[in-house]
Amino acid sequence: MAKVLVVDDSRLQVQLVKTALERKGFAVEVAMDAVQAGMQAIRNVPDAIVLDINMPGGSGIEVLKRLRLSTKTQGIPVAIVSGNEDPDVRQVALELGATVFLPKPVDTDQLCDALTRLLPAVNIDTTRAKS
């Protein structure tokens, strides 16, 4: 089962994404800020990360930079999900190695599809019921 770390300071957003991903067969871990995200990603390396940009304790851009500098986390696919519509932020995230940049409110089907494409070699149970 593919393990995804969801990083967002909004409990509502976390719950929405977590529920959608679990229904699609992903195992989900959660971090509520940039500091937690970095520590969790290094301690318990996920298969993919869903990352917000604007959070307390540092931005998602800072988290992405740290992830790319660590040999343990540099290859993890990162899907940015952000309400930040600044094209410069999007460009920086993609240049730093974000694989996908999706706007909030996130279309959870689109996010799940993107993660499934990013993790083809990881066992994801896509036969679970959609409720």
What are the residue ranges spanned by the domains of the chain?
A: 3-118
pLDDT per residue over 90-104, tens digit each? Answer: 999 999 999 999 999
Closest CA to 121 of 41, 20, 2: 2
At residue 36, the 3 state secondary structure works out as: helix
Q: Are the beta carbons of 76 and 96 closer than 8 angstroms?
A: no
Which CATH superfamily does the domain covering 3-118 fall into?
Response regulator (3.40.50.2300)
What per-residue confidence (pLDDT) applies to 121? 55
Q: Are the beta carbons of 114 and 79 closer than 8 angstroms?
A: yes
User: Can you point out the beta strands (E) in the chain?
Assistant: 3-7, 27-31, 48-51, 78-82, 100-103
Q: Model's pTM, two decimal places?
A: 0.90
- Altogether, the residues listed in the chain come to a count of 131
Which residues of the chain are under the pLDDT cut of 70? 121-131
